[in-house]
Amino acid sequence: MGVITLLLTLVLNQASPPVILARDTPDDAGKSITIRWQLTGEEVPEGLILERGDTTGCFQVLGVLSSTETGFVDEDVCDGVGYYYRLGAVFGADTVWSEPTPLVKSAPQWFNRARLNILIAMLVFFALVIYFIEHAKAGRYLFIRRIAGLDAVDEAVGRATEMGKPIVYVPGLGSVADIATIASLNIMGEVAKKTAQYDSALLVPNRDPIVYTVAREVVKEAYTRAGRPDAFRPDNIFYVTSEQFAYAAAVDGLMVREKPATNFFLGTFWAESLILAETGATTGAIQIAGTDSVFQLPFFITACDYTLIGEELYAASAYLSREPLLLGSLKGQDFGKLLILVVIVLSSILLLLSRISGLQFLSAIIKFFNVS
Amino acid sequence: MHISTDIWTWVAVILTFGIFSFLWKDNPFYKFCEHLFVGVSVGYTIALTWYNSVYPDLITPLFRQGKPLYVIPFLLGLCYFFRFIPKASWLVRIPMGFVLGWASGVAIPAFFQTNVIKQIQGTLLSPALFARWDVFLWALISFIGVICSVLYFFFSREHKGALKVAAETGIVFLMIGFGASFGYTVMARMSLLIGRFQFLLRDWLGVIR
């Protein structure tokens, strides 16, 4: 009886090897093959053995896996090299092997289809921006509402001139890859133009060497545009250190010793935000801050006279300069935001309608917002 | 009480008090600690950049492995040094333009992914939210909060009438968020202060374990 059972088991096992599929991982940067399998027999194996073979036909163990696993991503492969895979289902002392997969090679893809929605969103957004820039270039008036923190810039620079004290401009601690830093550098150009016109000193301590180089060029160009290239002091734009709290200690020291009339904290900030803003407040300076770092905004709101919240920071350079190019860009952003609200409201309505029988297909809308 | 006899613990204690002395006022002791901190950090950063980036990612592939493509970043990097030659200082704009273009290219799609698409997905009212009334209520509050907060940042119209009501509701939502964030972050800062006091009381004075 025992012999018959063993023979039946072996026959059944041999008749139902796992079915395995291997393919190049889609929408990736290469060096990855995705393997999927299905166990066909009724008996659950004790474990699985996945092996990888090369063109010589030699297989090596890639991993010993639990029988509950249904897939594996092999990221230890070279692009353009062919591999075979096979899966063994372990039943006690026996292992039933699947047929090896056809030869599979990994390759990078130029386009990630999972991010098609991002491409569409960007194209729509850029189209809006370009449309409004052209609109502005045509000389049409573009209305921008009052932003209190930015109206104070003139007052802040004027105050420094009257008091004969410098202005400290901190462009944040982020790199040039941060959008807030790019926005800050744009605002810096406008502030520098005003300091050049008013003949005030502008001190710019930097944490990032690249930001320092860009800041220096921005200020130099602003002084030239204001017709005061002679007033530009290259030593006033300087690199301090890349260490966060050492930078904070140095800027604190600078504010306490120079006693600036105005402090600008615009850009990306982290834990040092309150240290800087609080020290600046104790020196009696008027302070204008702005960041898109949500965790640092409360500290600036508490310790500064004016705070630009997130999007206001991005709008600032257009607001200050009133240049058609920047105003058009700001208008484009505004209508982009309006479009986002329309998408949220409409999609929500359609999703809620998908509860009605016959309209369930509307629930597929949510998939459009999946990103990987 | 077991006061530490380790010289480096004493150095750290003196520097800690030096930095804390700023709470009283600016003084030479603080100035010394500040300059030391800045100097050491710059030196450390230079060494770190050389050993973690420049040497393994540029010098080795270009000069040891002979990979010719690496000559492009090498030349771009060299351009930064032309700032010291006034007549050729315009060359600095080449790597700057490259870095700014690259940074925008990297940042904008990532921004769309995390700050636009994912946020829209999280805000949508979907039928799954009807499973529990409290979940739906919070989703609805979040939905109204998002709409009103975005309207606060709409710059193309004066905040009047319905837009004013929506924008003012939006700023209430923002301030509630900032208040919560403030409390949370202050607690995190307190833990940093506690860490320093633990160092003084445990590692230096030995009065606590």
pLDDT tens-digit readout, A187-208: 999 999 999 999 999 999 999 9
Residue A145 DSSP class = -
pLDDT score for A97 = 93
Determine contact: B177 vs chain A, CB below 8 A. Answer: yes
Q: How far apart are the first and last CA of chain A?
A: 55
Measured between alpha carbons, how far is B63 from B43 in angstroms, rounded to an integer? 25
Average pLDDT over residues A340-344: 96
Q: How many CB atoms lie within 10 A of CB A91?
A: 18
> Would the CA dihedral through B10, B15, B18, B20 be positive or negative?
negative
Cβ <8 Å between B143 and A240: no
- Checking if the pLDDT of A9 tops 70, the result is no
- Checking if the pLDDT of A210 tops 70, the result is yes
**Are the CB atoms for A183 and A314 separated by under 8 Å?**
yes
Cα of A27 to nearest chain B Cα, Å: 16
Cβ <8 Å between B107 and A178: yes
Q: Where are the alpha helices (DSSP H) in chain A?
A: 2-15, 116-137, 148-163, 179-198, 209-225, 244-258, 273-282, 297-303, 311-321, 324-353
Q: Is A321 helix (H, G, I), strand (E, B) or coil?
A: helix
Residue A43: band (very low, low, confident or very high) from pLDDT cuts 50, 70, 90:
confident
Query: β-strands A286-291, A306-309: how paired?
Result: parallel
Residues 6+ apart with CB under 8 A from A337: A311, B150, B153, B154
Cβ <8 Å between A338 and B154: yes
Q: Which of residues 17-56 of A touch B (CB under 8 A)?
A: none
Measured between alpha carbons, how far is A244 from B182 in angstroms, rounded to an integer? 20
Measured between alpha carbons, how far is A160 from A79 in angstroms, rounded to an integer? 61
Measured between alpha carbons, how far is B120 from A366 in angstroms, rounded to an integer? 10
Local mean pLDDT, 10-residue blocks, chain B (209 residues): 92 96 93 96 95 96 95 94 90 90 87 91 90 93 96 93 96 95 89 93 92
Determine contact: B90 vs chain A, CB below 8 A. Answer: no
Q: How much of chain A, in percent, has pLDDT values that exceed 70?
A: 96
Cα of A167 to nearest chain B Cα, Å: 20
Measured between alpha carbons, how far is B97 from B92 in angstroms, rounded to an integer? 9
Measured between alpha carbons, how far is A306 from A9 in angstroms, rounded to an integer? 79
Residue A154: band (very low, low, confident or very high) from pLDDT cuts 50, 70, 90:
confident
Residues 6+ apart with CB under 8 A from A245: A272, A275, B37
- Checking if the pLDDT of A92 tops 90, the result is no
Nearest-CB residue to B111 (from A145, A179, A370): A179
Interface test with B, best of A126, A144, A243, A362 (most B CBs within 10 A): A243
> A355 to chain B: nearest residue by CA?
B127
**Are the CB atoms for B87 and A336 separated by under 8 Å?**
no
Inter-axis angle of helices A324-353 and A311-321, nearest 10: 150
Cβ <8 Å between A297 and B181: yes
Measured between alpha carbons, how far is B77 from B63 in angstroms, rounded to an integer? 15
Residues of A in contact with B104 (CB under 8 A): 182
**Are the CB atoms for B179 and B160 separated by under 8 Å?**
no
Lowest mean per-residue pLDDT among A335-349, A356-370, B41-55, B160-174: A356-370
In chain A, what is the greatest distance between 2 CA atoms, to the nearest angstrom?
107
pLDDT score for A14 = 52
Residue A103 DSSP class = P
Measured between alpha carbons, how far is B45 from A194 in angstroms, rounded to an integer? 35
> B116 to chain A: nearest residue by CA?
A340
Residues 6+ apart with CB under 8 A from B137: none
- Any bridge partners for residue A84, and if so which? A53
* Domain architecture of chain A: domains with CATH: 2-105 (2.60.40.10), 142-322 (3.40.50)
**Are the CB atoms for B134 and B122 separated by under 8 Å?**
no
**Are the CB atoms for A207 and A240 separated by under 8 Å?**
yes
Measured between alpha carbons, how far is A84 from A73 in angstroms, rounded to an integer? 14
Name the one residue in this structure whose structure tokens are 């629930």: A363
Residues of B in contact with A294 (CB under 8 A): 177-178, 181
Contact pairs from chain A to chain B, CB under 8 Å = 173
Determine contact: B112 vs chain A, CB below 8 A. Answer: yes
* pLDDT tens sequence across A234-281: 999 999 999 999 999 999 999 999 999 999 999 999 999 999 999 999
Residue A322: band (very low, low, confident or very high) from pLDDT cuts 50, 70, 90:
confident
Cβ <8 Å between B146 and A344: yes
- Checking if the pLDDT of A209 tops 70, the result is yes
pLDDT score for B100 = 85
pLDDT score for A200 = 93
Residues of A in contact with B80 (CB under 8 A): 213
> B109 to chain A: nearest residue by CA?
A118
Q: How many CB atoms lie within 10 A of CB A67?
A: 14
Residues of A in contact with B150 (CB under 8 A): 337, 340-341
Query: β-strands A262-266, A306-309: how paired?
Result: unpaired
Please report, as a single letter, which amino acid is at residue B121. Answer: Q
Measured between alpha carbons, how far is A268 from A293 in angstroms, rounded to an integer? 6
Residues of A in contact with B38 (CB under 8 A): 240-241, 243, 246-247, 249-250
The torsion defined by the Cα of A325, A328, A332 and A334, in degrees rounded to 10, comes to 120
Residue A6: band (very low, low, confident or very high) from pLDDT cuts 50, 70, 90:
very low
pLDDT score for A325 = 84
Determine contact: B100 vs chain A, CB below 8 A. Answer: yes
In angstroms, the Cα distances linking B70 to A268, B75, B81, B95 are 31, 9, 18, 14
Q: How far apart are the first and last CA of chain B?
A: 10
Phi-psi region of A359 (alpha: psi -120 to 50; beta: other; left: phi over 0): alpha
Q: Which of residues 184-223 of A touch B (CB under 8 A)?
A: 210, 213-214, 217
- Checking if the pLDDT of A136 tops 70, the result is yes
> B36 to chain A: nearest residue by CA?
A246
Residues of B in contact with A243 (CB under 8 A): 37-38, 41-42, 44-45
- Checking if the pLDDT of A329 tops 80, the result is yes
Q: In whole numbers, what is the pLDDT of chain A averaged over residues?
A: 91
> A178 to chain B: nearest residue by CA?
B107
Residue B178 DSSP class = H
Measured between alpha carbons, how far is A303 from A276 in angstroms, rounded to an integer? 9
> B117 to chain A: nearest residue by CA?
A369
Cβ <8 Å between A243 and B41: yes
In angstroms, the Cα distances linking A154 to A181, A232, B207 are 21, 19, 55
Measured between alpha carbons, how far is A255 from A261 in angstroms, rounded to an integer? 10
pLDDT score for B82 = 92
Instruction: Give the burial class of A2: count Cβ atoms within 10 A of its Cβ; 0-12 exposed, 13-18 middle, 19 or more buried.
Output: exposed
- Checking if the pLDDT of A90 tops 60, the result is yes
Cβ <8 Å between B34 and A250: yes
Q: How many CB atoms lie within 10 A of CB A233?
A: 11
Residues 6+ apart with CB under 8 A from B54: none
Determine contact: A298 vs chain B, CB below 8 A. Answer: yes
